Structure 1
Amino acid sequence: MVVLLSVGAPAGAQTRDIAGLPSWEVVAAPAVGEFTNRLAGVYAASPDAAWAVGSALGRAAGGGQEHRTLLQRWDGRSWSQVTPPALPGGRVAQLGAVDGTGPDDVWAVGVATAPNANTVTGQRTVALHWNGRDWTAVPSPNRGFPDDNNRLLGVAAVASDDVWAVGELDGSLSGGGRASILLHFDGTGWRAVDHPCGAGLRAVSASSADDVWAVGANTACHFDGSSWRPARPAAPVAGRRLDLAGVAVLGPTEAWAVGRTVYGCGERVCTFGEVQRWNGAGWTTFATPGVDVRGVHAVAPDDVWAISLNDGLLHFDGTGWARVPAPRGVLEDITAGGPDDLWAVGATSGGSPSVAQIQHAASAGTATVVGGTNHAGAVISWTGPSSGSVPVRNSFGHYEIVALPVGTYDFIVTAAGCAPQVRAVTVTAGRIIRQDFTLSC
């Protein structure tokens, strides 16, 4: 059993009720190579068809480290590693994003690098396609000089003959600068598209052929079916730089962009989470408890999920954002095959090397219990199918217990100088359950 106690003020100060939302649990992910494994993108076509992509480091035959490709498939029962297609020149795909139109039409994009992990120049774009039977590498354009680095960071599949990919050119090693890459697949091949979207595109999403958004460093750009046009995001606080990293589109009047604002704070560089909403006329900023928000997926206007570097999972219920308890990890992307079929991927936090992590909701055999007390020094204990205790350390009396096995429990709250309280709590799989306590002291 995994137990998490929130000790920070953002969680304790949370006022939005998250009871009834899906609870999250870790699902076993295959390991590739002896060193770091990191998943960066996930796509779910149905409850028994999903893909997660990323990169890993393994031990090279002659010593040192070499790149490996993470290309992992969910079949409704378990995740398994799939052999990636061979790339020209023996290159290795480090994948950063995945999307599709269904189980038999999936795209994964990223960067093709030399196998040796010490080679840092000449990186090329890579686009892999799944047709329901095999993965194949489809040639994709590059910009700049041979030593420049090209990489794709986002992909959005509208139809089998309508797919967009975005990324960036880093020409600094050859004396050049940075520029955005915007590619389109028309059913026969990929081509580069001229655009006015600025540098640093990082993510793309579409609701239809004439409603596509791409976002990046201080930029948001919209495609209406005929041309791309900038639609400037809401300006950050003076002195901060806006860096958008994720976008999700539900329709012409409903889209979300997430990322961070960056600013100097003393001798350090600090970040603050940024969430913006498009209403058909402009972008507005929403308050969020997250820091460095990296990924977003919209199921419905009142059911939007996002990932924050320090705060894990965030949820929007139609009126505001709240942090959602989840197993500890550094998550990168989130998707849904349906309202109660959610996947989030990334890597474990702490320890070395990091291991790829996959989380799923609604959880199959566990649930999350949250609540509050009127005493910051209380201790929450439970007995039943499992037993344990957590101290309530923050000043708001908030507690969280993640991945608690299903069953009936006795919850007991104690504090010095107070009469203990006991509550019977029935834990049912898949949902967040709330149990509050008021102590008489």
Structure 2
Amino acid sequence: MHTMRYLLAFFFLVIGTAGFAQKIATLEIELPQTTSNLEIPVKAKLDEITLLPDSVLRLVAVEGNKRTPIPCQIENGNARFIHWIIDPASATKGKHTYELVKGAKSNLPATIKINDQQGALTVRAGDKNLVRYNYKTVYPPAGIDTAYKRSGFIHPLWTPHGQELTRIQAPDHYHHYGIWNPWTHVLFEKDTVDFWNIRDRKGTVRFANVVATADGPVYSEYEVLQEHVAFRPGGKEKVALNELQSVRVYQPKDQEYYIADVTINMSCASPSPVLLLAYRYGGFGWRTTEKWNKDNSEVLTSEGKTRKEADGSTARWCIVQGQLDQDYGGLVMMSYPTNYNYPEPLRIWPETMNGRGDMFANFSPTKNKNWLLEPGKTYTLKYRLIVYNGHFTKEKAESGWQSFGNSPKITVKLK
């Protein structure tokens, strides 16, 4: 495992230094709508602006004659991007101006980081756990078929107040693993494979490698390789799909919510194509906390559907929220416009599930349509999660999706 190059770029304008900052470019962002007091992560491609090294670049918010340094973070990959977050206190409708400047090097510590311990990567902001990715294989309870073992899943996903929103190995579905991304009905080399219902021993999804991690003042991120493995007669197996999954969690400024972006890149692992066959569930799934039932939780989609009507409908976003002991909280799942079969079909469990209305939510792009994955191509799915305590309204969810699905345009003016 190696650590992704990152920049902790935050500097203070103090007497004696402000006068030496050299402006490189002005970045203007037009916010066409209100933001419902939500943070907005944004990014700009750096190499189109400057080729100066990361270590000398700083970002300043401009309001009239006032210039305020803000945290930013530079991502180095196939291209360089500078990332920052528009503060909700200033995220009003209209133009927002920033200056990219050349300044003195800063070495402030990361405020959101990854802890690698006991077979899991845990994203922490300060002393709070937010997201845990399990790369070590987790076995079912004693006496349960070991075919249910699994690696490569998120659990727990915590609210800002520390409650768990995910559940694994529920007795009614031992193959449910928090937040995970298997496919159910798959045609591969003339065999029908099931990566979801792992007790059938037709296939599984397993962790293969940590590709990269990053810590910083704006976000923490991990990228992992997962293999979708088809089981063959005689104990043989073959990897059908390679999945690069990255999870980026943004530094929360508000104590009531945080934002996480999930990007899934799938490619065929052999010269053989993979056909994801239409099935009622499969893909990006979430088994929710056991604290929720039909009487203390609720569902609302971007199209106004409640839990009674949501299953089988299509949506850009879906709120699932409910009672958490003496508290309240939930998650907004958001689908990106370039995702396959967007707006995506939903699988939402009925209120009668298990007699008490247990909750499961799933963006399932193959619910009503096949998806052919061809060798030599990469197929991408993007999701945003807003994890919160309190209640989320449809207006707030729509505002959050607009910032995700229709990212604010950045106009760059060199010097």
TM-score by length of 1: 0.28
Higher helix share: 2
Higher strand content, 1 or 2 = 1
Normalization by structure 2: what TM-score?
Answer: 0.29
